[in-house]
Amino acid sequence: MNQKRLHEIGAGLIVPVLILAIWQAACVSWEINPQKLPSPLAVARKWVEYLLPLQPHVDGSWLRWAFSGEMILDSISSLYRVVLGFLIGACLALPLGLAMGASKGAYTLFNTVTQLLRPVPPIAYIPLAMLWFGLGNAPALFLIVLGAFFPVLLNTIAGVRQVDVIYLRAARNLGAGGATLFRRVILPAAVPYILSGVRIGIGTSFIVVIVAEMMAVNNGLGFRINEAKEYFWTDKIMAGMITIGMLGLAIDVGMNRLNNYLLRWHRGLEH
C-alpha cells in the first residue's frame, strides 16, 4: 500500500473519529440514558459480544465454533439473500434492457409498464409478498429481485441508447452486420452504464434485505435489529447498524474495484 493510499485512508477516518469522540464525550458529560443513546464504548462491547460465539468451545470443529456467533450467522444469511436475489434480478433485467435499448419495438412494448412499476418502492410490495409467499426466504428474495431489477434495467437501456451514432455508422461502413454490430460496438460501449446499474442494484438489494428481514424472516441482520428493538437493546441495535454499514462499505469498495478492473480499457488504464 503506497503512501498516497495511506494518506487517503487517514483523511477518510478523520470525520468518523471526530464523531465518535463527540458522541462519547456527550454520553459521559450529559449522562444520557443508555437505552436512548448508549456510548460508543458500550456499542463496541455489544458488537464484540454479538460477534463472538454464544457457547464455550467444548468439542467438535474449532473453526465451526469460531464462526458460530450471531453476527456472523446473521451476516451470512443476509448476504446469501442479497447475492441470490440480485443475481436473479440482474439476469432478468439485463437481456430485457439490451432488447429495449437496441430495438424500438421492444422499447415501445415494455416502456409503459416499466415506467408504471419503476416508481413503486420494493418496500411497498411487502404486504403482497407476504400474502403470496408467506414467511421465510421467498418473500425476501422477491423484494430483493425487485430492488435489483430496475437499476440494472434502466442503466442497461441508457447504455445501449447512448452509443454514438458515428461509431455505428463507421462499423456499418466496415461491413459489420446486426449481430456483429451489437456484440462488438453496442455492448462494449454500454458496459460502463451496465456496471453502474449493477453497483446501484446491489446497494439497493442490501437496503431491501434489511427491511424484508424485519418483516418476514426469522434470521439475518434486519431480524436481529428488530428483535433488539423489542427488548430495548439499543446497544445491539446500533451494533447491528454498524455491521450493516461495514458490510455495505465492503460491498461498495469491492464493486468499485471490480468496475475499475473491468473498465481499465475504457479509462486508458493498463493496471
Cα 198 to Cα 17: distance, rounded to the nearest angstrom: 31
Side-chain-side CA neighbours of residue 115 (13 Å): 8
Query: In this structure, what is the dihedral angle of CA atoms 186, 183, 86, 262, given to the nearest 10 degrees?
Result: -80
Q: How confident is the model at residue 30, as a pLDDT?
A: 85
Q: How confident is the model at residue 167, as a pLDDT?
A: 66
Residue 232 DSSP class: T
260 in Cβ contact with 63 (< 8 Å): no
Please report, rounded to a whole number, the percentage of residues in the chain having pLDDT higher than 70: 92
Confidence band (pLDDT; 50, 70, 90) for 89?
Answer: very high
Q: How confident is the model at residue 218, as a pLDDT?
A: 85
- Average pLDDT of 141-162? 92
- For all residues of the chain together, what is the average pLDDT? 86
Cα 131 to Cα 37: distance, rounded to the nearest angstrom: 36
Cα 94 to Cα 153: distance, rounded to the nearest angstrom: 6
pLDDT of 269 > 60? The answer is no
CB atoms within 10 A of CB 204: 23
Cα 55 to Cα 69: distance, rounded to the nearest angstrom: 9
Q: Which of 89-98, 152-161, 259-268 has the lowest mean pLDDT?
A: 259-268
266 in Cβ contact with 192 (< 8 Å): yes
Q: How confident is the model at residue 271, as a pLDDT?
A: 45
- Average pLDDT of 172-182? 68
Query: In this structure, what is the dihedral angle of CA atoms 145, 150, 152, 157, given to the nearest 10 degrees?
Result: 150
Grid coordinates of 265: 480499457
Cα 92 to Cα 111: distance, rounded to the nearest angstrom: 15
- Average pLDDT of 127-138? 89
Q: Helix (H, G, I), strand (E, B), or coil: what is residue 118?
A: coil
Cα 7 to Cα 16: distance, rounded to the nearest angstrom: 15
